[in-house]
Structure 1
C-alpha cells in the first residue's frame, strides 16, 4: 500500500459508524434480489470518462488507490460493458452512504468495495443487501484466490459467496533494523523472545519502547487473538439471525495478560493509533518494532524519512501451532440495487482479472493481492523493496497470506469495536483485572445483540 490515505481509510473503517438491525427495514429473506435492467444506468454520472458510447454501464464505488487506472483498463478491453466509477467515500464514510441508500431504497451502486469485516453488517438478520455470486458460477473461480480471502467472502456459509476478493493484509513485524543492530539485540521470532528483546534493548541503553499496544487498534488486537486460535465473534450468513461473542476465554486472557505485563515493565507504550504522537513515535525511532499488516509499508514510505531503516520479519508466534493471521483486506460486492445483477457480477469478477490490472493494483495501488496467480508469479515473489533496504519482502508475506484460513466478524462490528477499546484500555493501559473486564465485555455485547433481535447462543 503506497499512500497514506489507504492506511487512514483502513483505520477509519475499523471504526465504522453504523449498524444494521436484525429486524425491520425491507427484508429479502430468500437472498438479495436479482435485476436485469440494461439501460437504467445510461444517464449515470461518472468520475471517470466513459469513452465507448452506447454501451451498457455498471456503476462502481471504490476508494482503492489507482482505481481509475484499473477502471480505464477494463473499459479499454471490454466492448460489452463500461464501468462508471465514483468514490463513495473511504471506509466508514462509504458504508454510511451505502446504508442511507439501503434505507432509501435507491442510490446504491451496482458494485461496491467493502472490507471483509464490514460485509456482515449488510447481511444482517433477514436483510440481504449483498448478492450471492454462486448463482452466476463464481464458485468455479475459488482457486483464483487464497483460502483465507475466499472464506472471508463466504461469511460463514459453505456454498454461497458474497464478494470477489481483492486484497489481504498479512500480519508481519516491522523492525527498526538500525536500532537492533546498534544495540546488538536478536530479532525475536516468538512472543517470549519478544519480551526478552525489549529487556535487552532497555538494558543496552535504548530509551524507547519495544512497540506500542494501541487500545484503539481494533484490527491489530483481533489479529493477536487469532494467533491464539481465538475466534471471538460468532456469526454466519448461513444463519444470520444468530450472533454472539466470547472474549472471556483462557486464550484471550493470556494475550491481554501478556501485553499488560509488558506495559507494567515499561517495555511497551499504549499510545492510541492514528494520533500525532503515535505517528511521531513510529517514524522517530521511539518504537523498535511495529506489528502490523504488510501493506503498512506504503504508509511508512509516505509519512516520513525512514528509508532503509525498517525490515519486515514474520510476526512473533506463541508456539508451532500459531496460525498465520491477517489484518485487513477487501472485496467487490454486488448490491441488491444493481440494475443488471449479472452484468455487475461480471464487472466485479473481471475488474482485477487481467495481468495489467493486477500489476496496477500492486505497483501503483500498493495492494497486497488475494489473487493466487499474482502471488505465485516470479515478479511478485522476487520484488525488492528499496524502502526496506532492498529486502524481498514477499518471501515473508506470501507464506503468511497463503496460510491464512479466514476469520469471522459481526453484523454490528462498529459497536463491538467501540466497546472493545474501552475494555482493552482498562486492562492493558490501566492495569485492571482481565477476567472481570472480559466478562463484562461479553455481557455488554451479547445483550446488545439480543436488543438488536439476534439469538445469542
Structure 2
C-alpha cells in the first residue's frame, strides 16, 4: 500500500467551525415542500465552459463538476471518463477538507459557485444537510437504494445521517480502528500484547516495571472521533441526529458509560502508563515511530502513513491486531471516512447523482482507490475478495493485515453526528485536556460538557433530548 495523505478524523480536527446558523435554522427544506423539488435541476449545458484539472476524454459529453481531495483522484476521474460516453467528470478543486468546507460554506451563502458533487467526511455531512435549506440532495429519488447492498451497513448508515429513508451521499471509505503494536518491544520485555483493556493496563504497568522508558500508548484529548469511538465501544451513543427530523438533536456525553472510559484513561495518564499527546503534531508523528509508544490504537488509514514515514526506529517490528475491548461483545468501531454527495446547486442533478454513484462503482475503480490511494473500502465485494484479504504488507512482516481489519469494517454499525459537530469536538477537547492533564474531576467535567453542548444546541434552535 502506498503512502497516503491522512484523511478522516485528523482532517476533521482542522475543520473550521461552521455554525449551524450557516446552514439555516432547523426545519424543513426551504421552499421545497416535502419532495425537495427545488433541489433538482436539469441544465445539461451549464458546465460546458467549466475549467477542469483533468483532461476531459470526450469533450462533447455533458460535464459534472466535482470537488475531491482523495489521493490519486485524477486516476479515478480518468477511469470514469474513459468508461462513460454520456457524462464526463470535470474535477475542479482538490482543496482538502477544512479548506473545501470553508469554500462550500461560502458558496452556500452566495447561493452559487458550489460543485455538482463534493467529497465530505461523514461527520460533517449533517452540517450541510440540516436546517431550513438542505444543501445535500437526498439520492433516493435517483435510485441509490439499488446499490445499497454493495456497501457495508455501517458506512451506509453514516450517509443516511441518522434517518431511515434519505441517503445523502455514496460511502467510499472508512477507518476501522485496530491496534498497531511493536512486536519487538513486547518480545524484548516478555509482555503479552493485550486483547482487553484490563490486559492493556496490566501490560502497560509490566512494561514500565521491566524498564521500558516509553508508554504503552497514547490517549489524545484532541482525538475527537477516536474518543467517540471509544465511547461507542463501551455502548455509549453520545449523539443523535436525523436529517428526517432536523429539529431535534440528542446529546448524552455524561453517561456512566462515557465516564467509565474517561476515568480509565485518566487513571493510566495519572500513573504515567499512557501519554496524553495531541495528535497531528510533529512530536506525535515522531513518537509514533521512534519507540515512544508500544501500541497505537488507530484507524486503518495509519497503515499508509507508517509505511512511508521517515524516522522509523531501526529494528522495529510492527504487527496489527484487533483493538482491545471491554468485553468480547463490544462492537467494532470506526474513525473517519467520507463519501461523495450531490449539492443542491448541481446544474443537472440526475447526472450528478450518476457520477456520485458510479465513480467508485466498478472493480477497476476500487483497485485504484485501494491500491493507489490507500483508501479502506466500503465496497463489500472488495472487502471479501481473496486478493484483498490475502495481500501481504512488507512493513508488517508480510502480515495479511486485511484479515484483521476487514472484519472490523464489515462489523461497524455506523454513528450519528451533530449538525454542529465541530463545536462539540472543540468543547470536548477542552474538557478532556483538563481531565487528563490537569486532573479535573471526570464526573463534574463531563456534566459541564453535557450542559455546554445542550445549551449551545438550544441557542441554535434545536430541541434537545438526552
| TM-score, reference length from structure 1 | 0.97
| 2:359 is aligned with 1:385 | no
Tell me whether 1:426 sits opposite 2:434 in the alignment.
yes
TM-score (normalizing by structure 2)? 0.95
Is 1:415 aligned to 2:423, yes or no?
Answer: yes
Is residue 40 from structure 1 mapped to residue 65 from structure 2 by the alignment? no
Deviations 1:178-197 (A, max 9, x none): 11111111010000000001
1:366 aligns with 2:374: yes
Paired with 1:6 and 1:324, the residues of 2 have a C-alpha distance of: 21
Match of 2:383 among 365, 375, 380: 375
Which residue is equivalent to 1:23?
Answer: 25
Identify the residue that residue 69 of structure 2 maps to in structure 1: 63
- Give deviations 1:364-414, integer Å, cap 9, x for gaps: 100000001111111111111111110100111111111111000011011
* TM-fit CA distance, 1:113: 0.4
Which residue matches 1:447?
Answer: 455
CA gap 1:156/1:24 in 2 versus in 1, 3 angstroms = closer
- Aligned-partner Cα distance in 2 for 1:364–1:115: 20
Distance 2:166 2:365 in 1: 26
Q: Give the corresponding residue for 2:212.
A: 206
Partner deviation per Cα, 1:249-284 (whole Å, 9 max, x = no partner): 110000000000001111001111111211111111
Following superposition of structure 1 onto structure 2, how do residues 268-417 of structure 1 map, counting pairs within 5 Å? 268-306=274-312, 309-417=317-425
**CA gap 1:144/1:156 in 2 versus in 1, 3 angstroms:** same
Distance in 1 (CA, whole Å) between partners of 2:301 and 2:244 is 31
Matched, 1:233 2:232: no
Match status 1:116 vs 2:122: yes
State the match for 1:259 in structure 2.
Answer: 265
For 1:24 and 1:405, the matched residues in 2 are separated by: 27
Q: Is the contact made by 2:6 and 2:302 (CA closer than 8 Å) also made in structure 1?
A: no
Alignment-derived partner of residue 94 in structure 1 = 100
Q: Which runs of 5+ in 1 are unaligned?
A: none
Aligned-partner SS, 2:440? coil
Change (3 A) 1:454 1:52: same
Alignment partner of 1:14 is 2:13? yes
Separation in 1, partners of 2:418, 2:147:
26
Q: CA deviation at 1:29?
A: 5.6
Q: CA deviation at 1:86?
A: 2.5
CA distance in 1, matches of 2:240, 2:453: 12
Cα distance, 1:10 vs structure 2:
4.5
Partners of 2:25 and 2:67 lie apart in 1 by: 27
Shift in Å at residue 428 of structure 1? 1.9
CA distance in 1, matches of 2:172, 2:457: 30
Q: Deviations over 1:297-356 (max 9, x none)?
A: 111122225386221110000002210111111110000000010100110011111211
For the pair 1:215 / 2:221, whether they are aligned, the reply is: yes
Query: How far apart in 1 are the matches of 2:4 and 2:407?
Result: 26
How far did 1:88 drift? 4.3
Q: Compare 18-27 and 148-157 and name the one that shifted more.
A: 18-27
Aligned residue in 2 for 1:176: 182
Measured in 1, the distance between the counterparts of 2:139 and 2:410 equals 23
Q: 1:309 to 1:405 in 2, by over 3 A?
A: same
CA shift, 1:91, in A, is 1.1
Q: Distance in 2 between matches of 1:350 and 1:102?
A: 26
In 2: Cα distance, 1:4 partner to 1:262 partner: 32
Q: Does the 8 Å CA contact 1:450/1:456 hold for their aligned counterparts?
A: yes
Give the RMSD, CA atoms, in angstroms: 1.6
User: 150, 154, 160: which is aligned to 1:154?
Assistant: 160
Q: Secondary structure at the match of 2:171?
A: strand
SS in 2 for 1:279: helix
| Structure 2: gaps (5+ residues) | none
Query: What SS class does the counterpart of residue 322 from structure 1 fall into?
Result: coil
* Number of residues of Structure 1 aligned to a counterpart in Structure 2: 456
SS in 2 for 1:40: coil
State how far apart, in whole Å, the 1-side matches of 2:92 and 2:191 are: 49
Q: For 1:357 and 1:305, how far apart are their aligned partners in 2?
A: 33
